[in-house]
Amino acid sequence: MGATKAAGTLAAAFVSALALSTAAVGSTTAAPAVSRLPGTPCHVFAADNYWHADISGLPVNPRSAQWMRHMSPSSRLHPDFGPSYGAQPVPYGIPVTIVGANHPKVRVHFSYASESDHRLYPLGADTRIEGGRSASGDRHAIIVDKSTCRLYETWSTRKTSSGWHAGSGAIWSLTSNRLRPDGWTSADAAGLPILPGLLRLDEVKRGFVDHAIRFTTDVTDQRHIWPARHDAGSVRNRAYPPMGARFRLKASFSLKGYRADTKVVLRAMKTYGLVLADNGSPWYFQGRASGKWPSGLLDELKTIPASAFEAVDTASLRVSAGSMATK
């Protein structure tokens, strides 16, 4: 739902600086090491994690054409983040809150209690919630404790007179590839962590995105494939995509004529792709909330046709069923 208005001179300066940084990256230069989350010493999972796996050389999934036919193939990408220009009190996107070792932790009451992690969460007055505290949407809260590199994620997050409540909650160690029990949800329908699939402005500025990006579609199958642990599909039909399906921008898609920052994102979509992680509007992909996303970048990303993507077969990446580690 990222809005689009002229970004003015700030956007021009951003693109000019970005062009210098991306010139050194190019499409053939070796990828930098996995980046750290700004404001923390933490990597967003290890280099061998599923989210960082290069899928550019993997075979096309045998069901790619079937899945694409049921995913509004005539539509275009939609960056679900960016300035709100007053439409809501905070920018579009999913915010991330960074806390330290001394942040108080609280008990959270969950609607899906049997599939949530029942430990204390560092929620508080400083916690940023998707859409703002009065929002009626998914209301994700993502918190990283920089002292332990532990990730806390909740969905449908609310503070009431009786305490903190959420639909579901999951806690992850950013130093571990361990998956949740099979069949368990997380703060996402696929049972996966959200943070590693968010496009971030800091990585676009540095000229290299080192991970896959989370996205949604409206109708999914009632099954999931590794590394997804959960599904919430409305049909039982393998011609529809399952949670965990991974897609990439076709190698033949030309990047000629796009802005430097747009090319950074499109290269990531060719190399790391998109991961189907939740039900929602078709081809909406998620980013970290910020009012500084350039409208020119958002505008160009909205022109990319869904038909330029294909599903890939990720089975060869798997080391074990209970781990996000890849070969």
Sequence ranges of the domains in the chain: 8-12+32-317
Strands in 96-99's sheet, in edge-to-edge order, are 96-99, 141-145, 150-155, 168-173
Please answer whether residues 282 and 276 qualify as being in contact, where contact means their C-beta atoms are separated by less than 8 angstroms.
no
pLDDT tens, position by position, 179-222: 999 999 999 999 999 999 999 999 999 999 999 999 999 999 99
Nearest 5°: the CA angle 241, 247, 252 is 135
Mean pLDDT for the chain overall = 92
Query: What is this structure's pTM?
Result: 0.90
Nearest 5°: the CA angle 258, 251, 316 is 135
Closest CA to 222 of 190, 247, 248: 190
d(CA 30, CA 54): 12
Q: CA of 248: how far to CAs of 55, 113, 193, 266, 320, in Å? A: 8, 35, 20, 10, 23
Q: CA of 98: how far to CAs of 48, 53, 124, 152, 244, in Å? A: 24, 26, 12, 10, 27
pLDDT tens, position by position, 81-131: 999 999 999 999 999 999 999 999 999 999 999 999 999 999 999 999 999
Closest CA to 80 of 319, 326, 300, 283: 283
pLDDT category at 32 given cuts 50, 70, 90 is low
